[in-house]
A and B are shown apart, each in its own frame.
Chain A
Amino acid sequence: MPKCWLTLPFFLLAALTVASGQKVENTAIVRTVELGGSVVHVTTTYAIRSLEDELKSYTIALARGDKSKTSWLEATIKGQKTSLAIKERAVHGDNEYQLFDVALPKALSVNKTLSIVFDTIQTHATEAWPAIAGQNDEQALRYMTDVFVLSPYPTTVQRTKIKSQTPRVISFTEPKNIESFAASASAVSKSGATVVYGPFNNLPPSTTDEFIEKYQQPVNVHYYHDQPVLEILKLKRSVEISHWGANLNTQDEIVLYNAGPRLKGHFSRLDHQTQQFYKRPAPHILPALTLHLPSGIRNAYYYDTIGNVSTSKLRTAPSVPKNRQGTQFSVLEFKPRYPLLGGWNYSFTLGWDAPLEDSTSYDKDTGRFIVEVPIMTPILGAVVDDEELTVVLPEGATDVQFAVPFPASSTLQETHKTYLDTTGRPALTFKYKDLTVKQAESIFVSYKVSWSAHLKKPVAVGTASLGLFILGMISRRVNLTLHQKSKMS
């Protein structure tokens, strides 16, 4: 069971206890935005000081724009790894912000301080600007956010750092009407690859319409980006477990899209080959993709609608024994049939077999099999817009349970018939949205299979072939001739 479910009743209580009076003060808020292509990593650190005893929860606010982009969030105490339970509050009307209640691990007494790190990942947060670019042009992206981090509590000092991967930032917005908070006239500075907004001092509680209307304003950062902006529009993963073959087959159907600036004019092979010859690849062109598949895989295949993708190569690594931590991967150098330019699509299917014992274990006490199914193969810097993960269990599996690392947008159990099945296999389908590398975790599925269920297939096939032979025997021995001829020779 995921943790958040257990703590749900506690949250309701916590939410009730938070009254409108100021119980907390933010001594410092630092927001760090690490710009990327389709994935932007935002870390906000709240240094808080409690103004009352027994502070059990802390409320974080996200502006509406940021909320819609955020696909993953996590709150931790600085320096610790365990994440804190987060509860999303209901939105009232057209609020410009969304509140989250973070449950503190232990109640905070007066004047005690604590640093809460609020990690979010934003997807589809950048846009190509200009939206079209020629084949030899650079790729420039634009990121937009609000200048102030909202908080229902007063804040002593606040900063926003926006870091680009290269120091080549083209432009950034100068915020206006901030004299009341900023110490210097210019509240923004750039050093190297980092643009810093702030520091802003002595902000009142900012989750008020008044504050937002008066001071909150969007800021843009326009920067060059050296990697192609990748989006996986659709990922359909199906995982099939076979006890007879001791095999776990994984198949991904992937629709890849280059979300960078759309190609201006047309693709010229000559220019592309010139770029390759002089080793000056354009940043928005994806010539190949390196994928890290699990170790120990065999019979890998990669094809698209019209056949094998003959341009690709796979180097497999042997399986890592179970009790050892291994970081070996099979590396697939996947090269689409054509280089993927801005705005181009490429869809393909990738699949492999893996030994079942690498990801399954048998619990002798309960008689259950437990299978670990990774939600996705991580592709660095790419976002998966829609995923449908189907786990097909062996025929006759009963008592199916599963545990997900984070809740899916929908879960479905149905029956799937394949390879000589008689009754069909239970299949679990999970649907996800906006996944990033951070969410490349595993689902655990456990089930029971009886001996008789294992024997179902050989019995069915045996019966069918026996029937055929008997039919053949009968037909050889039955004489259907209408009138018997006398023997000719």
Chain B
Amino acid sequence: MSTAYPIPSDISPATVKNTASLLRIVALSLISGAAIASRLFAVINFESVIHEFDPWFNYRATRVLASKGFYEFWNWFDPTAWYPLGRVVGGTVYPGLMVTSGIIYNFLHALNLPVDIRNVCVMLAPGFSALTAWATYMFTKEMKDESAGLLAAAFIGIVPGYISRSVAGSYDNEAIAIFLLMFTFYCWIKALKQGSALFGTFAAVFYFYMVAAWGGYAFITNMIPLHALALLLMGRFSSRLYVAYTSWYAIGTLASMQVPFVGFQPVSTSEHMGALGVFGLLQIVAFAQLVRTHVSSQQFQRLLYGVVVAIGILGAFAFVFLTYKGKIAPWTGRFYSLWDTGYAKKYIPIIASVSEHQPTAWPSFFMDLQFLVFTFPAGVVLCFRELRDEHIFVILYSVVASYFAGVMVRLMLTLTPVVCVASAVALSTLLDTFIDPTEPPAEEDADDGVSANGSSSTAPPSQSASKKAKKAAASAPTKTALGDFVAATSSKGGSPRPKGIFGLDSRLVVVFNTLSMLVFFVFHCTWVTSNAYSSPSVVLASQNPDGSQHIIDDFREAYYWLRQNTPEDSVVMSWWDYGYQIAGMADRPTLVDNNTWNNTHIATVGKAMSSSEEVAYPILRKHDVDYVLVIFGGLIGYSGDDINKFLWMVRIAQGVWPDEIQEPNYFTPQGEYRIDDRASKTMKESLMYKMSYYRFNELFGGNPGVDRVRQQQVPKEGPTLDYLDEAFTSENWIVRIFQVKKEDPLGRDLKSANQFAQGKKRKRSKPAPRRRAIV
């Protein structure tokens, strides 16, 4: 057989095998290293700090776990959250993440390695991303081969869609969940392939870990049954499927019910019914198979028909009945919002107000996946060519995940692994074809060969890879199953014509193109990671005039001030975004936080913020609020501030008190959202507006003050506060803290007390009511 380039022939197969194995190990460790290293931008550019909002709660819970032990954590009732309600943390949290870091922490300390718990938490996500790369390798290996596995591992290691949730410091459930997701799927595929109860149990154990770690476990809960159902409908029922599914479902469901936050949901909510239904269906089908071996085929046909219809009708009725009776919880709002993107905006403003719950904008697909967006469909198509059981899984996964990723930005995360897998399959097929040195035997009609050669070499690289793969597959030596398939389909027309790639130049063009795509991918990933995804958001960065980095540290300044200089039991009210941060950094009780379980409580805060001082004051006093914290970006142009979030507060408050708070009142008559002279009266009198702009224009020394976020001039007359006192303002005015005054000791209302103190005469426009009483 002729080859395009010389290959050494005097190497023993054992040497090749060992070398390949060594290379794989080296490649995997390098990929792990790259995965970890690219996530360290946040630590190097900033510091080893916990990022954003939710991670602060996880970190706080982990500290409790590490310092007080597991049982204390399990029974932890946190009276400082959701003041005055409190929160049963042990029962309302997915403990997987905290327990993982707690175990790592205790293990390291048992070895006398004094690692700070904060560093364990910060480095957990990068560490697990290395494991994810390995799990993806194992998973893709089942799809195609080791080389595709390595490609997939490299992709998942650096793809921004996953990095966005797993940079160092982003200590959130997703950090470990993606590893668990991929490993559970790997175990499932392995169990399905081998019919192995052992791997089924592994899948169940990792499923349990996943349930303990992330609310997104429902994705597995529905993906695996969907796969099983699809196999069933395709007539691919086998004892392997039966063993794998039942061992996974039985053990996994029982295990998942041990997590207190999940409890009896697996048998009582609609989201979990699919898994249960498929479990039942599999029993029936298995039983039918058994019956079939004992009765004649005609009888069996009739029997099957009757039984399937009866059971189908019965099952549907039972489901409807149980839902109606309330035994099975109906679909939740979050679920509906997955199908109707406008649903949340109308009915659950809290969910809609979170930016990561918005539908994904198309540029973010490219930003998060770059060229994998184009190779992903090719990989999925390639899966169709062979269509083994596991390929069906990838196809289903990619369809479902693509839909969800389009609906919600945060679900991009679940799409990313399958994109990496499918793209790796496509690219690896491409590379296999073009690197493979065997040339097809020279034909009699050379024209054909030349044209094939020409078309493939001139084909632009952006052309659908699947086309090339088709050609490639056709030319590939018959050892791949894909080749068989194509050969079989093409042979229908006539005698198989040998196809393939001649010469080195055509190979080089394609390989070079592919390699440069990969290289650009690396550059893109690095750039996106360092610029977009590595900001801790508690610390902001700007540049000094000389180009050096300047850190804007207002959040921590204010939180630390609260922590050190206020009484330990003083209650801080802020919008819920900052609840976890205040609890974590300032260690003070908060009214509402990022665990948005009580809509009314949040609406109360929204009402207090959006009403006038007189209306808000009784609310504040009733909730024992000592300090009110607002975020104001007007001075340095920090656009994520509370005035920009204000309309959500109004909307959420309006949802509960439609008579008192109306959104249109906060706009100008022209329907504009303004903060300057033309702002509506309600807007100007709202507590949020007053606190944000309190004494702001004095900063400009007589010149008109400009809000740099809204690009509007603030009114000349700044707002005055009667019921609150400014307690602290951070260096760049981002965080402003106000103290709620206590009632006047003389029993006056604070407004008139204030006027009296300022020496203003009380206006007596009306006669004093006392006089009238005498009359």
Residues of A within 8 A of B (CB): 265-270, 273, 304-308, 310-311, 337-338, 343-347, 417-422
Of listed B561, B564, B739, residue having the most chain A CB within 10 A: B564
- Establish whether residues B556 and A266, one from each chain, have CB atoms under 8 Å apart when the complex forms: no
Given the complex, which residues of B lie within 8 Å of A346, measured CB to CB?
560, 564
Q: Across the two chains, which residue of chain B brings its CB closest to A272?
A: B729
Write the nearest CB–CB distance from B107 to chain A, whole angstroms: 13
- Establish whether residues A337 and B556, one from each chain, have CB atoms under 8 Å apart when the complex forms: yes
Q: Given A305-B563, A338-B561, decide whether A269 and B729 contact each other with a Cβ distance below 8 A.
A: yes
Given the complex, which residues of A lie within 8 Å of B559, measured CB to CB?
306
Q: Given A338-B561, A420-B113, decide whether A268 and B556 contact each other with a Cβ distance below 8 A.
A: no
Is B728 among interface residues, defined by CB-CB distance under 8 A?
yes
Bound-state Cα–Cα, A338 to B733, Å: 12
Q: Given A307-B49, A311-B553, decide whether A347 and B739 contact each other with a Cβ distance below 8 A.
A: no
Contact of A268 among B111, B564, B729, B731 (CB under 8 A): B729
Given the complex, which residues of B lie within 8 Å of A308, measured CB to CB?
47, 49
Q: Across the two chains, which residue of chain B brings its CB closest to A424?
A: B112
Bound-state Cα–Cα, A418 to B112, Å: 5
Bound-state Cα–Cα, A268 to B699, Å: 12
What are 27 A-B contacts defined by CB distance under 8 Å?
A266-B726, A267-B726, A267-B727, A268-B726, A268-B729, A269-B728, A269-B729, A269-B730, A269-B731, A304-B560, A305-B563, A305-B585, A306-B559, A307-B49, A307-B539, A308-B47, A310-B47, A310-B551, A311-B551, A338-B557, A338-B560, A343-B565, A345-B564, A346-B564, A347-B564, A418-B112, A422-B112
- Establish whether residues A268 and B560, one from each chain, have CB atoms under 8 Å apart when the complex forms: no
Q: Given A305-B563, A338-B560, decide whether A270 and B725 contact each other with a Cβ distance below 8 A.
A: no
Bound-state Cα–Cα, A269 to B729, Å: 5
Inter-chain CB contacts under 8 Å: number? 79
Bound-state Cα–Cα, A307 to B560, Å: 10
Task: Mark B543-561 against chain A: 1 for CB-CB distance below 8 A, else 0.
Answer: 0000000010100111111
Write the nearest CB–CB distance from A414 to chain B, whole angstroms: 16
Bound-state Cα–Cα, A269 to B731, Å: 7
Given the complex, which residues of A lie within 8 Å of B731, measured CB to CB?
269, 338
Is B623 among interface residues, defined by CB-CB distance under 8 A?
no
- Establish whether residues A267 and B112, one from each chain, have CB atoms under 8 Å apart when the complex forms: no
Is B114 among interface residues, defined by CB-CB distance under 8 A?
yes
Write the nearest CB–CB distance from A36 to chain B, whole angstroms: 25
Q: Across the two chains, which residue of chain A brings its CB closest to B557?
A: A337
Task: Mark B94-116 against chain A: 1 for CB-CB distance below 8 A, else 0.
Answer: 00000000000000000111100
Q: Given A269-B730, A345-B565, A418-B114, decide whether A306 and B585 contact each other with a Cβ distance below 8 A.
A: yes
Given the complex, which residues of A lie within 8 Å of B730, measured CB to CB?
269, 338
Given the complex, which residues of B lie within 8 Å of A419, measured CB to CB?
112-114
Given the complex, which residues of A lie within 8 Å of B563, measured CB to CB?
305-306
Write the nearest CB–CB distance from A267 to chain B, whole angstroms: 5
Known A337-B553, A346-B560, A419-B114; 6 more pairs at CB < 8 Å: A269-B733, A270-B729, A311-B551, A338-B557, A344-B561, A419-B112
Write the nearest CB–CB distance from A256 to chain B, whole angstroms: 10
- Establish whether residues B739 and A421, one from each chain, have CB atoms under 8 Å apart when the complex forms: no
Given the complex, which residues of A lie within 8 Å of B565, measured CB to CB?
343-345
Bound-state Cα–Cα, A347 to B112, Å: 27
Is B710 among interface residues, defined by CB-CB distance under 8 A?
no
- Establish whether residues B49 and A421, one from each chain, have CB atoms under 8 Å apart when the complex forms: no
- Establish whether residues A344 and B47, one from each chain, have CB atoms under 8 Å apart when the complex forms: no
Write the nearest CB–CB distance from B706 to chain A, whole angstroms: 16
Given the complex, which residues of A lie within 8 Å of B739, measured CB to CB?
266
Is B272 among interface residues, defined by CB-CB distance under 8 A?
no
Given the complex, which residues of A lie within 8 Å of B48, measured CB to CB?
307
Bound-state Cα–Cα, A307 to B114, Å: 18
Q: Given A306-B585, A307-B47, A418-B112, decide whether A338 and B728 contact each other with a Cβ distance below 8 A.
A: yes
Given the complex, which residues of A lie within 8 Å of B551, measured CB to CB?
310-311
Is B743 among interface residues, defined by CB-CB distance under 8 A?
no
Q: Given A306-B560, A418-B114, A420-B113, decide whether A266 and B725 contact each other with a Cβ distance below 8 A.
A: yes
- Establish whether residues A270 and B728, one from each chain, have CB atoms under 8 Å apart when the complex forms: no
- Establish whether residues B556 and A306, one from each chain, have CB atoms under 8 Å apart when the complex forms: yes
Given the complex, which residues of B lie within 8 Å of A311, measured CB to CB?
551, 553
Interface residues on B, range: 20 to 34
Given the complex, which residues of A lie within 8 Å of B733, measured CB to CB?
269
Write the nearest CB–CB distance from A395 to chain B, whole angstroms: 10
Is B749 among interface residues, defined by CB-CB distance under 8 A?
no
Q: Across the two chains, which residue of chain B brings its CB closest to A422?
A: B112
The B384-441 residues at the A interface (CB cut-off 8 A) are: none
Given the complex, which residues of A lie within 8 Å of B112, measured CB to CB?
417-422
Bound-state Cα–Cα, A60 to B44, Å: 61
Is B87 among interface residues, defined by CB-CB distance under 8 A?
no
Is B695 among interface residues, defined by CB-CB distance under 8 A?
yes
Is B698 among interface residues, defined by CB-CB distance under 8 A?
yes
Given the complex, which residues of B lie within 8 Å of A347, measured CB to CB?
564
Bound-state Cα–Cα, A337 to B559, Å: 10
Given the complex, which residues of B lie within 8 Å of A269, measured CB to CB?
728-731, 733
Q: Given A268-B729, A270-B729, A419-B113, decide whether A307 and B556 contact each other with a Cβ distance below 8 A.
A: yes
Write the nearest CB–CB distance from B681 to chain A, whole angstroms: 26
Given the complex, which residues of A lie within 8 Å of B698, measured CB to CB?
270
- Establish whether residues B557 and A268, one from each chain, have CB atoms under 8 Å apart when the complex forms: no
The B506-541 residues at the A interface (CB cut-off 8 A) are: 539
Q: Across the two chains, which residue of chain B brings its CB closest to A306?
A: B585
Of listed A265, A308, A338, residue having the most chain B CB within 10 A: A338
Given the complex, which residues of A lie within 8 Å of B553, measured CB to CB?
310-311, 337
Bound-state Cα–Cα, A311 to B564, Å: 18
Bound-state Cα–Cα, A344 to B559, Å: 14
- Establish whether residues B561 and A337, one from each chain, have CB atoms under 8 Å apart when the complex forms: yes
Bound-state Cα–Cα, A273 to B729, Å: 11
Given the complex, which residues of B lie within 8 Å of A345, measured CB to CB?
564-565
Bound-state Cα–Cα, A337 to B564, Å: 11
Bound-state Cα–Cα, A313 to B202, Å: 52
Of listed B558, B565, B584, B699, residue having the most chain A CB within 10 A: B565
Q: Across the two chains, which residue of chain A brings its CB closest to B539?
A: A310
Bound-state Cα–Cα, A34 to B105, Å: 52
Given the complex, which residues of A lie within 8 Å of B695, measured CB to CB?
268, 270
Task: Mark B695-739 against chain A: 1 for CB-CB distance below 8 A, else 0.
Answer: 100110000000000000000000000000111111101000001
Write the nearest CB–CB distance from B753 to chain A, whole angstroms: 15
Bound-state Cα–Cα, A345 to B561, Å: 8
Write the nearest CB–CB distance from A303 to chain B, whole angstroms: 8
Given the complex, which residues of A lie within 8 Å of B557, measured CB to CB?
337-338
Given the complex, which residues of A lie within 8 Å of B113, measured CB to CB?
419-420
Given the complex, which residues of A lie within 8 Å of B725, measured CB to CB?
265-266
Given the complex, which residues of A lie within 8 Å of B561, measured CB to CB?
337-338, 344
Given the complex, which residues of A lie within 8 Å of B727, measured CB to CB?
266-267
Contact of A273 among B47, B558, B584, B699 (CB under 8 A): B699
Write the nearest CB–CB distance from B224 to chain A, whole angstroms: 26
Write the nearest CB–CB distance from B171 to chain A, whole angstroms: 13
Bound-state Cα–Cα, A418 to B559, Å: 32
Given the complex, which residues of A lie within 8 Å of B726, measured CB to CB?
266-268
Q: Across the two chains, which residue of chain A brings its CB closest to B695?
A: A270
- Establish whether residues A337 and B560, one from each chain, have CB atoms under 8 Å apart when the complex forms: yes
Closest 9 interchain pairs by CB?
A269-B729, A310-B551, A337-B557, A307-B49, A345-B564, A308-B47, A306-B585, A266-B727, A421-B112
Write the nearest CB–CB distance from B735 to chain A, whole angstroms: 10
Bound-state Cα–Cα, A418 to B108, Å: 11
Given the complex, which residues of A lie within 8 Å of B564, measured CB to CB?
344-347
Bound-state Cα–Cα, A113 to B695, Å: 69
Bound-state Cα–Cα, A307 to B727, Å: 23
Of listed A306, A337, A347, residue having the most chain B CB within 10 A: A306
Write the nearest CB–CB distance from B78 to chain A, whole angstroms: 18
Q: Across the two chains, which residue of chain B brings its CB closest to A311?
A: B553
Write the nearest CB–CB distance from A269 to chain B, whole angstroms: 4
Bound-state Cα–Cα, A343 to B565, Å: 8
Given the complex, which residues of B lie within 8 Å of A343, measured CB to CB?
565
Write the nearest CB–CB distance from B319 to chain A, whole angstroms: 41
Bound-state Cα–Cα, A152 to B585, Å: 58
